Amino acid sequence: MGYPEDLMSEGEQVVAHKHSHWKMLLLPYLALIVTLGLGIWLALLAKDATSPWNNIGLIAIGVVGLALIVWLFLVPFVRWRTTHFVITTDRVMAREGVINRSSIDIPMSRISSVRFKQGLTDRIFGCGTLIIESSSQEPLEFDDIPKVEQAHSFIYREVNDNPLDDYHKRAPQPTEPYPQQENRRG
């Protein structure tokens, strides 16, 4: 079983499984391109130096370039890849991290309201911040959720379609007619 199926209880089904929006990777990819371009340019300059400085320069450029790529690209990419936002029929799960893992599970029965907000940039990219209020905690904000309106709708539907809560689709009950009063004039 893959993630998150191995964390679910019997009868629980995944409604939506998302990572943070890909816009989180724009700056890391830009840093990768700039680092590679600058590294190639400096390597061409160092190649023209006299021996043994050309080899020392190439090694220094390679070490610094590798460190920058790991720090500015690889770490954010792994952080993005290991961030999960999962909506199931029973709960909302948020998991992130590789070495330092953090997790939160919110049962659907504890959610009192769900809302979202989007700025102009978020609307352009199709993401936003999902805000979940549970009955006993401060509102939890989940940033950069892709298709945040859809996630909002999923959670709202799961919270309100739960047969164990106080929302039930009932057939209309027949009403008793209002008793007629006699016309009394005295």
Sign (positive or negative) of CA dihedral 79, 112, 109, 155: negative
For residue 174, what pLDDT is reported?
57
Domain ranges of the chain: 12-19+85-160, 24-80
Percent above pLDDT 70 for the chain: 82
pLDDT digits (tens, 9 = 90+) for 104-152: 999 988 888 899 999 999 999 999 999 999 876 788 999 999 999 999 9
Cis peptide leading into residue 28 (ω within 30°): no
Name the amino acid, one letter, at 63.
V
- Please indicate, yes or no, whether the overall pTM of this predicted structure exceeds 0.75: no
pLDDT digits (tens, 9 = 90+) for 51-70: 888 889 999 999 999 999 99
Instruction: Determine the Cα–Cα distance for residues 59 and 38; give it in Å rounded to an integer.
Output: 15
Instruction: Determine the Cα–Cα distance for residues 174 and 167; give it in Å rounded to an integer.
Output: 20
CATH class of the domain defined by 12-19+85-160: mainly beta
